[in-house]
Amino acid sequence: MSDQLNALRAALAEAQNRLIETEAELADRLAEINAFEIEFEGRVGYLLDNLEALEQDIQKYHERIQIARNKQIFGTPHISVEDQYRRTWQAPPPAAPTPPAQPLNPASEAEIKALYRQLARRFHPDLAATEPERLFRTQKMQAINDAYAARSLAELVALAQGAEAGIDTGWRAGQTEAQLVAALQAELSRCQQRLREIDRELRHLPYRPSVEVSLEVKAARRRGRDLLAEMAAEVERKIARKSVERDLLKAQFDQLGPDQGFININRR
């Protein structure tokens, strides 16, 4: 076997190992971001949704009260140009918020991370020798990534115990040396391209809004503060004020009489 072929095999093996480690680092970062987003939704996000729904109720009462007053003054439910423009061009209100997901409690983060890397080395698509094997590995790796993102140790263990019938231990058997060189060069180029893509994604992660908030939460925690609790308390105070405002508007609307029309402020 030529020196060129040996050098390409060594370079490809190194690139594949770097790719697996880099993708594992990306998966770690994404899992951490996902865990924080779930915690944020469970402690603050659903309160923000409730506050937004209250503000929508208040806006509806304002509109209905104005329509009722216009009807009393003009004899018709006059709608201002501004209201007509807003109704025509503004986006419809968002759907009702879904109940917040509960934070996950993984049995052992270290064990999950170690098992994920073990599975990545066994099933990574870039270790495939043939296209059918690449398809098998891609499907397997997707399941592994999903289980890792969910921090499901049980699913990862089950995948680790699964059959490896789709894996080919040989590498392009029957090819000439020139064909092997071309195939190895193409595979190396593809691995290097994927490494550049992951590197770009890692560099952009810190600019995600949830990452910026999570860094503030971590910094506050080091100072003995629970920033999420403080944020939740502030939103709850706003909800209390908006609830009073909504109730006052409802009472004002009800005083206009039953013939002024029906307002449906039930959650959609």
In the prediction, which pLDDT does 257 show? 63
In the prediction, which pLDDT does 186 show? 85
pLDDT > 70 fraction of the chain, expressed in percent and rounded: 76
End-to-end CA distance of the chain: 70
Domain that holds residue 141: 107-171
Contact assessment for residue 207 and residue 214, using Cβ atoms and an 8 Å cutoff: no
Domain match, 212 and 97 both: yes
What is the distance between the alpha carbons of residues 114 and 27, in angstroms, rounded to a whole number?
12
Domain count, the chain: 2
Domain match, 30 and 112 both: no
Domain match, 90 and 148 both: no
Asked, for residue 267, whether it belongs to a domain, the answer is no
Asked, for residue 266, whether it belongs to a domain, the answer is no
Domain match, 149 and 189 both: no
Choose the final residue of a domain: 152, 171, 190. 171
Q: Name the most confidently modeled range: 111-120, 122-131, 144-153, 204-213.
A: 204-213
Domain match, 150 and 43 both: no
* 40 pLDDT more than 80: yes
Domain match, 156 and 250 both: no
Choose the final residue of a domain: 124, 153, 171. 171
pLDDT tier, 201 (very low <50, low <70, confident <90, very high otherwise): very high
Contact assessment for residue 46 and residue 100, using Cβ atoms and an 8 Å cutoff: yes
Domain match, 76 and 158 both: no
Asked, for residue 128, whether it belongs to a domain, the answer is yes
Burial class (CB in 10 A: 0-12, 13-18, 19+), 152: middle
**Residue predicted with more confidence, 136 or 101:** 136
Asked, for residue 268, whether it belongs to a domain, the answer is no
In the prediction, which pLDDT does 170 show? 53
| 157: helix, strand or coil | helix
Domain match, 32 and 165 both: no
CA 236 from chain centre, in angstroms, equals 25
Domain match, 216 and 149 both: no
Per-residue pLDDT tens digits for 59-90: 999 888 888 777 767 665 555 555 554 554 45
- Please spell the DSSP secondary structure of 82-133, one letter per residue: HHHHHHHHSPPPPPPPPPPPPPP--S-HHHHHHHHHHHHHHH-GGG-SSHHH
Domain match, 180 and 245 both: yes
Domain match, 86 and 124 both: no
Other CB atoms within a 10 A radius of the CB of residue 204 amount to 10
Asked, for residue 61, whether it belongs to a domain, the answer is yes
In the prediction, which pLDDT does 152 show? 82
Asked, for residue 22, whether it belongs to a domain, the answer is yes
Per-residue pLDDT tens digits for 108-137: 778 888 888 888 888 888 777 777 788 888
Domain match, 27 and 68 both: yes
Choose the final residue of a domain: 115, 138, 171. 171
In the prediction, which pLDDT does 263 show? 45
Asked, for residue 140, whether it belongs to a domain, the answer is yes
